[in-house]
Each structure stands twice: as structure tokens, then as C-alpha cells.
Amino acid sequence: MPSARFDYVELPATDLPATKAFYEAAFGWSLTDFGPDYAATVTNDTDIGLAGPGSDAPAAPLPAIRTDDLEAALERVVAAGGRLVRPIFAFPGGRRFEAVDPSGNRVAVYEPDAPEGGGDAVAE
């Protein structure tokens, strides 16, 4: 079975600059801006993304699960009883889909783009 693990959580941020400043000050995290409406930590561990008001922000925290085979993951999610709420789509850095588990928790499952030359996609 391909590997899969939680490694990203998106949080809604109604005031992106203030929310970014809070996490930087409270926890010493460094957040990188990815456009005017999104900022995220990039640590290759469990990261957090802040989706500002101009983005397609989730209404609640959105755990994201990294996989190395997105289509196979989609098949497994649906077979296990997950309900697809957003089909596979591309985003800067990869592709993902979103589903709801049997308890109603929404999750994103994504596969990062492979960098040129192969290996894991890592933002620097």
C-alpha cells in the first residue's frame, strides 16, 4: 500500500496578517506568503496553512493527508465509505481532492508535484 500520513492542516484566517503574526509570535513559526491570501509554514514536518478571506478558505480546520498515489488514495477513500466533496484538482505545488469521512470530518488528500530531477517536492 502506498504511504500516507497527516502532514498539513489548513486553518481559516479572517485576518491573514494578524493570524500569521500570531503564529509567528506565539510559536516562533516562520510563515511564507504564497500570494496575497495564503501563508504557510514549510518545514517538511506537519505544517499549517492560513487561508485568507480572498482564498477558497475552509470553514473549519482542514487536515491534509499526503500520498504518493492520488488516484489510488481516492479509490481507497471512497471504498472505505468516504464521500467525495471536491474531485481531484490542481493547486500550486500538486493535486488534491477533498472528502468527508463517515463522521462528517472533511479532509484533503494531496500528492505534491515531483520536482525536476525526481525526489520529494520540497519548498525552500
Residues 23-79: tens digit of each pLDDT: 998 888 999 999 999 999 998 788 888 888 888 888 888 989 999 999 999 999 999
pLDDT greater at residue 15 or residue 119: 15
**Cα–Cα dist 112/124, whole Å:** 14
- pTM, whole model, 2 decimals? 0.71
Phi, psi of 93 (to 5 degrees): 110, -5
pLDDT at 10 over 80: yes
**Cα–Cα dist 58/64, whole Å:** 12
* pLDDT digit string, tens, across residues 79-121: 998 999 999 999 989 999 999 998 888 999 999 998 766 554 4
Closest CA to 40 of 106, 112, 103: 112
Closest CA to 94 of 54, 52, 40, 53: 40
